[in-house]
Each structure stands twice: as C-alpha cells, then as structure tokens.
Chain A
C-alpha cells in the first residue's frame, strides 16, 4: 500500500512565525503535491514537484514556499504565518506524469491554526 505521512496532525502557531510542514512518501513516487482544504472552497493546489529540487507553483502559492531535497520528502514552508493560512493542509503523491495513471495518494492532513 502507498503510504504518505505528514509530520503533524495538529499544529498551532502564532502570526509571523515560520512554519514547516513535512511530508514523506514511501512508494518512490516522482510527483508530490501540497493542497489546502477549506470549507466551501474544496482542495486548492499550492505547489507541486515533479522531481527532486524541482517545484512549480499551483493555484495559490502566495505566502508559501516548498523544498524537495530528497525524492521521498516534500516540505511546505510558511515564511511568516498569517491567520488566513489557518486551514487543513494535505500532502499527496503520484507515480509519474509519464505513467498511465495520475492517481494521487493523500496523507492524513495537518490542521494548522494560526493565532
């Protein structure tokens, strides 16, 4: 089974803090994704990565950055957390863009609250 893990299930931070959310997948997937999920807005893509050290902006990258130094790990960074970044953050991975499937497998999510 594909396993995607996220470093924290719940996180509370203060405005202005730098926040790191970590994601690890164990299936040697090439693609990794960060989403945020908010009521009424569904899943919105923040950043994604097709390969190590490669990243591309998604639909809502403002206020976020990412890092992918190793294939299995994809980190989301909030440079200076703000209250409007309070949300559920979901990490996902998928095999490859050149493969026959685009199925994304999700981690359990991190519920971040910024005070």
Chain B
C-alpha cells in the first residue's frame, strides 16, 4: 500500500553542523512533496516543497532533494540551530490534484549546544 516513511526516528546533531533528514515514499504517482516542521505543542509548519519535475530546491538554510529513481526525499538544514529542534515530517500528495496528502511518521531532530 501507499506509505511515506522516514529512515530514522531521532537525529541528534551538534549546533552549527548540517542536518540531513531522509524520507522514502512508495507512490510512483505522487508529483508533489512537502516538508513540515512541528515544534512541541504546535501544529505542523510548512518549510519547503518540491514538484516531481525538479531534483532540488533551496530555501533559506534548507534544501530539499528528490530522487525519483529510488523514491527518496531528503531535507538538508545548514548550520543547524537550537531553534531547529522539532519533529520533521515529509508528505506527498496521494494523487495529482486530489488535495490529499500522505504523511510520514516524523523524525525528531535534537540540536546539542
């Protein structure tokens, strides 16, 4: 069945290092992917998205990479800061133009000072 999964439940990094959070997806029909950040006690917050016609997209300190061949998505955070500590979710659209998303389980990013 369809699933979106993350490789590691918890990632611990040193402040200032780069972080890489990975996600695997199984739906070949998905053409849109999103990364969300959820801080404790808050709702998920949109970080960055990418369409399937792209391999890479950059934002402020974040980069998303999409490898359609192996159905793999990653989020790279440069110079990780304590404020980056949160749970990160990847999501994919269930099918084009349905409006519905499938969410991964989430990876907890812990930033050590």
Contacts and interface: CB of A to CB of B under 8 A. Distances in A.
Contacts of A42: 89, 103-106
Interface string B95-113: 0011111011110000000
A45 B100 contact: yes
Interface in B60-113: 89, 91, 93, 97-101, 103-106
Contacts of B91: 104
Given A31-B99, A43-B89, A48-B99, A106 B45 contact: yes
A84 interface: no
Contacts, number: 52
A58 B98 CA distance: 12
B99 A103 contact: no
Contact of B32 (A50, A98, A102, A109): A102
Given A42-B103, A42-B106, A94-B99, A101 B43 contact: no
Interface range on chain A (Cβ under 8 Å from partner): 20 to 34
B98 A97 contact: yes
B21 interface: no
Nearest to B104: A42
Contacts of A97: 97-99
A64 interface: no
A102 B32 CA distance: 8
B23 interface: no
A43 B103 contact: yes
A109 B99 contact: no
A109 B97 contact: no
Chain A CB within 10 A, most for which of B89, B91, B100, B103: B100
Given A42-B103, A104-B101, A106-B43, 18 more contacts: A4-B43, A42-B89, A42-B106, A43-B89, A50-B99, A94-B99, A96-B99, A98-B97, A102-B93, A102-B98, A102-B101, A104-B34, A104-B91, A105-B46, A106-B36, A106-B44, A109-B42, A109-B43
